[in-house]
Amino acid sequence: MKLSRAFYDLVGASVLWGTIGIAVQEAYRFGANSLGIVLFRTLFSCLILFYQGNRKILLRWESIAMGLIAGTFYEIYAFTIILDGAPLSSFLLYTAPLFVILFSYALFKEELNLRKVIGSFIVIVALYLDYLGTPTPVELIWGILSGVSYAGLISFSKFLQLRRFSGWDVLSAQSVWSLPLSLVVSLPFSRSISVGSVAGGLYMAILGTIIPYYLFYRGIKLMDSAIATVISALEPVVTTLLAYPLLGQTLTPLQILSASMILGSSIWLSLSR
């Protein structure tokens, strides 16, 4: 058996998402904040993608729903990072595969099996090794909400592709219809408008949204949704590996073990389909 093109598309998306943590830290040095970056990420993505998708499809209820789900995820995760910090927010975000299993079965009867549940738990345990703490109830609730909203975005995007939406159609809907929510949440914060937020948002729009989500949607079209989400958990692994040479952070044995578990789970699930 060999790894499919879909696997490499999903890994490519994860690698690009893995650069986000480094880019955001640099943006913070120039006055950025999480909500401001989300605002400009959505604005730039909307401007770039508005003419890329099918405008008739963009007006359908499914497109509006996709944008609202994406916008909800963006805002919840941005707030979760502020509240929980990066290690905990990353750990709880990747409870998403478990919710993807449920949502995908409810939406389009994707297969339920023990193998996907085991692979999802391996990822959760692996990311906990990088956190090793005890969250407060409030931190736990917001972290789980980020995982649920991320799972909603993934499952609904696959649902749209099964309804003959192209990857560009999904991306356009995601960007255009998430903008109103982002404006409502982020504009009241005057600190949102800064050089760091604009630069960080532009980086996120191109290398954190348009290119990686295109690869992700191309991959998930051919790959099981839960398995695709497990593969996307390589994102924090890439961030950790990049932080070693770029930020001078030291890799611990637990981080190496965590990365190995996530990579192993991704390959195992991909080969055993």
pLDDT in tens, 49-64: 987 777 889 999 999 9
| pLDDT at 268 > cutoff 60 | yes
Q: Which helix (H) or strand (E) holds 66?
A: helix 61-84
Give the mean model confidence (pLDDT) for residues 185-210: 85
Please report the pLDDT score of residue 132 as a whole number: 79
Q: What tokens appear for 240 in the block?
A: 């950790």
The predicted pLDDT at position 247 comes to 66
Average pLDDT of the segment spanning 136-145: 92
266: which residues sit within 8 A by CB, 6+ positions away?
7, 11, 227, 230, 231, 233, 234
**Which of 41-55, 68-82, 183-197 is the least confident region?**
183-197
Count Cα neighbours of 71 within 13 Å in the Cβ-side half-sphere: 26
In this prediction, residues 174-196 reach a mean pLDDT of 82
Mean pLDDT of the chain: 89
When pLDDT is cut at 50, 70 and 90, the band that residue 272 belongs to is low
221 neighbors 168 (Cβ within 8 angstroms) = no
- Helix 225-232 to helix 96-108 angle, to the nearest 10 degrees? 160
What is the C-alpha separation between 222 and 88, in angstroms, rounded? Answer: 31
Confidence grade of residue 190 (pLDDT, cut at 50, 70, 90): low
* Residue 20: predicted pLDDT: 86
pLDDT surpassing 90 at residue 134:
no
Whole-prediction pTM value? 0.91
Q: Which residue from 173, 158, 20 is spatially nearest to 89, judged by alpha carbons?
A: 20
Tell the burial category of 176 from Cβ atoms under 10 Å away from its Cβ (0-12, 13-18, 19+): buried
Separation between Cα atoms, residue 144 and residue 99, nearest integer Å: 10
* pLDDT of amino acid 186: 76
Amino acid occupying residue 132: L
- Assigned token pair, 26: 């640099």
The full set of domain ranges for the chain reads 5-271
pLDDT at 99 over 90: yes
Among residues 166, 139, 152, the alpha carbon closest in space to that of 107 is found at 152
Instruction: State residue 273's pLDDT score.
Output: 58
Q: Residues near 141 by Cβ (< 8 Å), separated by ≥ 6?
A: none
Task: Find the largest Cα–Cα distance for the chain.
Answer: 54
